[in-house]
Amino acid sequence: MVNVTKRFVTPSGAAMTAIRDVSLTVAPGEFCAIVGPTGCGKSTTLTLAAGLEQPSAGTVRVSGTPVDGITKGVSFVFQTDALLPWKPVLDNVALGPMFKGIGKSEAKSRARTWLQTVGLGGFEEHYPHQLSGGMRKRVSLAAALINEPSLLLMDEPFSALDVQTRAIMSNELLNLWDRLTPTVLFVTHDLEEAIGLADKVVVITAGPGTVKAVFDIDLPRPRGAVQDIRFDKRFLELYQQIWGALREEVEQTYARSAGQIASGRAFA
């Protein structure tokens, strides 16, 4: 990503800049976490990488080719699970290969294998609403990974889960990432999660977002349980460094929104 700027035109006609001159390079197979205050354009960055939106200025390149339309070889895991509620779990996971033009029975057998991989063998015929939040997240992961993406985009994927489930899912994500080694762009507001998972943590400034700092996470891999690494000395050091950078931005965002509320102009 080189000098990417995205301007949205708001319905009232005014231009709003979501991110400004964001430059960011992620190496193949790297796990990159993006943190920043709310409304700083973290999610926008992902939609640009996915090709769902086109940048207003600058270029987005994935594996060297400029993004134009939906990026090839990319999968997206959303904050709210994007499962089709009217299809059983198996059909949901089989969607990826089916859209790629693979026959129905082949797609389903692949989906079955993937459901077993994420520990949901035996739930093939359940509908999404019959599963717990953590299980739905597993299905989302299987549905995203079944296409064997080279780039996996994750937009606060675990933020709706409770703390225990989140820890389990984080470990599971690392295992899957180890096996397939896709490049991962992982947006989160949880700094511990970011440091625990990623090779690299990018801090975005308060909106309009731009890259404030990039931290390399030199914790050794495999890292084992995400819950335990939090007590590692190096982890704490990194946490303090990154939090130092992030805090200013969070405080600025907070002051801004507080000011708006105080002067009675509260809008998002």
Backbone angles phi, psi at 36, to 5 degrees: 175, 165
Q: Tell the smallest beta-carbon distance from residue 102 to other proteins (Å).
A: 10
DSSP assignment, residue 245?
Answer: H
Question: Using CB under 8 A, which of the segments 124-132, 162-170, 201-209, 227-235 binds other proteins?
Answer: 124-132
Rounded Cα distance, 108 and 198, in Å: 32
Q: Tell the smallest beta-carbon distance from residue 107 to other proteins (Å).
A: 11
Residue 2 or residue 52: which is nearer to other proteins going by CB? 52
Residue 61 or residue 100: which is nearer to other proteins going by CB? 100
Secondary structure class of 90 (helix, strand, coil): helix
Question: Using CB under 8 A, which of the segments 2-10, 75-83, 177-185, 189-197 binds other proteins?
Answer: 75-83
Binding other proteins (rule: CB under 8 A), the pick from 15, 70, 262, 268 is 70
Report if residue 89 touches other proteins, rule: CB under 8 A: no
User: Which residue reads 């390399």 in tokens?
Assistant: 216
Rounded Cα distance, 162 and 215, in Å: 27
CB 206 within 8 A of CB 249: yes
Q: Tell the smallest beta-carbon distance from residue 104 to other proteins (Å).
A: 13
Binding other proteins (rule: CB under 8 A), the pick from 31, 76, 158, 186 is 76
DSSP assignment, residue 70?
Answer: S
Report if residue 8 touches other proteins, rule: CB under 8 A: no
The 240-259 contact track toward other proteins, x by CB under 8 A, reads --------------------
Report if residue 9 touches other proteins, rule: CB under 8 A: no
List, in sequence order, every residue forming a beta bridge with 15; answer none if it has no partner: 9
Q: Tell the smallest beta-carbon distance from residue 132 to other proteins (Å).
A: 13
Omega before 222 within 30 of 0, i.e. cis: yes
The residues that touch other proteins, with contacts defined as CB under 8 A, are 47, 50, 52, 70-71, 74-76, 78, 80, 82, 84-87, 95-96, 99-100, 127, 129-130, 143, 147
